[in-house]
A and B are shown apart, each in its own frame.
Chain A
Amino acid sequence: MLEFIESITGVPTPLLFGQLLLGLINGAFYAMLSLGLAVIFGLLNIINFTHGAQFMMGAFVAWMLLNWLGLGYWWALLLAPLIVGATGVIIERTMISRLYKLDHLYGLLLTFGIGLMIEGVFRNEFGSSGLPYRIPAELQGAWDLGFMFMPIYRGWVVLFALICCLATWLVIEKTRLGAYLRAATENAALVQAFGVNVPRMITLTYGAGVALAALAGVLAAPIYSVNPQMGTNLIIVVFAVVVIGGMGSILGSVLTGFGLGIIEGLTKVYWPEASATVIFVIMAIVLLTRPAGLFGRA
């Protein structure tokens, strides 16, 4: 069987599956981050340029919880999204909420500025070399799947990200709260007329989107080293993912995220030089053929 796969693909199977797994993990982060961006965009009509910095904050809060308070990975998984989400609520209340009547581009510029500030502060405090974060004891080691060794933590990241995405989809599509949210995305004024506190809903939505980014940051902490720039390069790719998928559908962003991660992984096997740019090239092709994105509405 393995020889058969090798003869078709023309590369050693450990290399192939290793890169596929790496692609799946990157895809998990793309999916979680683009999901948060899409939820925020749906209600606030701004694109959250601070998202990368908030992803990075999630990883740093996990590191601080461990090194300053002795609280481990599982606590971080719970607390970091809450803490970073709370800072998001403050940012929305004090700054972003002042811009809703203006051109949406101002929201982009504001969140870009906030992102620069956050990144700069962390770089001053922690330098740019990166801090180590250990994989929790429960998730160390690897499974022998027969065709490859699967580090348990990496499998966990993919699984947990899938669960998060599914949970977000369920909340938005199947609950009363989600119904309000979708209604407010269509017509906020009308929903407010029915007595729903829309400004509070907007604030909490922003907080939730930010918390999702922070959660991805905690997941990323043991894989990548925790450093102030970890979010920025990732978030630019996520923007391309969002353009490819279109921000109209939740499942669409999840599918696009994972799919592009896998494509990127495969590119690393066959044409390593192009792996950094392949997503951008796909973005260009999608724009030329389906300008609204694969799952977007024009």
Chain B
Amino acid sequence: MASETTAGTIAPATSDDGVLGFSRAQLAALGVLVAFLAIAPFFLYPVFLMKLLCFALFACAFNLLIGYVGLLSFGHAAYFGMGGYIAGYTAKAYGLTPEVAVLCGAVVAGLQGWVFGWIAIRRQGIYFAMITLAMAQMVYFFCVQAPFTGGEDGIQAIPRGSLFGAISLSSDMTMYWFVAAVFLIGFLLVHRVIHSPYGQVLKAIRENEPRATSLGYRTDDYKLVAFILSATLAGVAGGVKSLVFGIATLTDVHWSMSGEVVLMTLVGGLGTVFGPVVGAAVIVTMQNYLAEMGAWVTVIQGAIFVAVVLAFRRGIVGEIANALKVKL
């Protein structure tokens, strides 16, 4: 990562100013985002929006690693899917309330991230990508065989339950506000982490790991904490998704899901705060409209990968930010 500073760069260095680490342009963009969250369910189908927000949070979690630590995890479906399975199972079998079920999913995903991250951070670059992919494939095979996941059928008819045991989430509109709140908290958390002193060290590691080491930082510890955090948030996203749809299946632990979150983040803009959200919106919308085209969706996704990597590496938000000469 270190040698890149111009067009091929993963992300520009950020300078902190303004409120809560948000620059003025970012505050404006945040305002637009919050306004969209508030208005959208009255115009768009809430279930579609909830799906979008789950993937947006998933992509934000992924972006924390690739955009700010420079680690490309190619196995994030393992945490997303496991979060979904655990949340779905605890909600259905033990009747836990949704917030506790999601929390359980997040904790398990985080523990999994701890173990896998501990193993994977021994290598960098493409080896890191291959290792995380292989680990995720192991989780996939585990989920195919483990009794609690329901194998090919998945866990079905997961109840949404009542938030804090008091507010029923059975209506899509109530559920939407819950999902939107979870997303916003996760989004702000990632942003807060990136702009904390800890986040500055992460960026230093991304730019030049040997130098960060020479300054006395235990870079492996920093990377591991970022990995755990990212896995936990991916677990939250997966858990919420399984509650929204009432189902947790093998699709969410499959390697193609890992590829999708890479694509979302890449399209939106690696290492931008708002990029993963925009990228998730673009890809989920596209899948929605192209659903009946079958395998062509895969071809189109592949083509987008190729086009973005060859011609348009900053992604949508990165290009806008570059044109406006601001950080987004």
Contacts and interface: CB of A to CB of B under 8 A. Distances in A.
B13 interface: no
Interface in B241-272: 255, 259, 262, 266
B126 A105 contact: yes
B111 interface: no
Considering residues B141, B301, B304, which has the most beta carbons from chain A within 10 angstroms of its beta carbon? Answer: B141
A63 B146 CA distance: 37
A273 B145 contact: yes
Nearest to B299: A120
A120 B126 contact: no
Interface stretch (A6-14, A111-119, A203-211): A111-119
Interface stretch (B153-161, B225-233, B273-281, B290-298): B290-298
B40 interface: no
Contacts of B126: 41, 46-47, 104-105, 108
B38 interface: no
B123 interface: yes
B119 A284 contact: yes
A283 B134 contact: yes
A99 interface: yes
Interface in B299-316: 299-306, 309-310, 313
B298 A103 contact: no
Nearest to B126: A47
Given A239-B134, A243-B130, A287-B131, A104 B305 contact: no
B31 interface: no
B314 to A, nearest CB: 12
User: Which of A105, A117, A120 is most buried by chain B, counting CB atoms within 10 A of its CB?
Assistant: A105
A174 B310 CA distance: 37
Interface in A253-298: 273, 276-277, 280-281, 283-284, 287-288, 291
B137 A103 contact: no
A283 B130 CA distance: 11
A123 B306 contact: no
Contacts of A128: 295
B4 A102 contact: yes
B8 interface: yes
Contacts of B299: 116-117, 120-121, 124
A47 B129 CA distance: 10
Size bin of chain B's contact surface: 35 or more
B50 interface: no
A4 B172 CA distance: 67
B82 to A, nearest CB: 15
Contact of B304 (A103, A113, A291): A113
A120 B134 contact: no
Contacts of A232: 255
Contacts of A108: 72, 126, 129
A240 interface: yes
Contacts of B300: 120
A101 B4 CA distance: 9
A118 B194 CA distance: 37
Contacts of B131: 243, 283, 287
Q: Name the prevailing secondary structure of the B interface residues.
A: helix
A151 B300 CA distance: 42
Contacts, number: 127
A142 interface: no
Contacts of B45: none
Interface residues of A, number: 45
Nearest to B3: A103
Nearest to A275: B141
A84 interface: no
Contact of A276 (B123, B141, B310): B141
A291 B10 CA distance: 26
Contact of A239 (B4, B130, B266): B130
B302 A116 contact: yes
A110 B310 contact: yes
Nearest to A273: B145
A106 B70 CA distance: 12
B146 to A, nearest CB: 10
A287 B128 CA distance: 11
A241 to B, nearest CB: 9
B138 interface: yes
B198 interface: no
Interface in B112-141: 119-120, 122-123, 125-127, 129-131, 133-135, 137-138, 141
A236 B137 contact: yes
Nearest to B255: A236
A154 B126 CA distance: 34
A124 B302 contact: no
B1 interface: yes
Given A108-B129, A116-B299, A243-B123, A280 B266 contact: no
B10 A103 contact: yes
Contact of A288 (B119, B145, B302, B303): B119
Given A113-B306, A239-B133, A123 B298 contact: yes
11 contacts: A46-B126, A105-B125, A108-B126, A108-B129, A110-B305, A113-B301, A113-B305, A128-B295, A276-B145, A280-B135, A288-B119
Given A114-B305, A239-B134, A287-B122, 4 more contacts: A120-B298, A239-B130, A243-B130, A280-B137
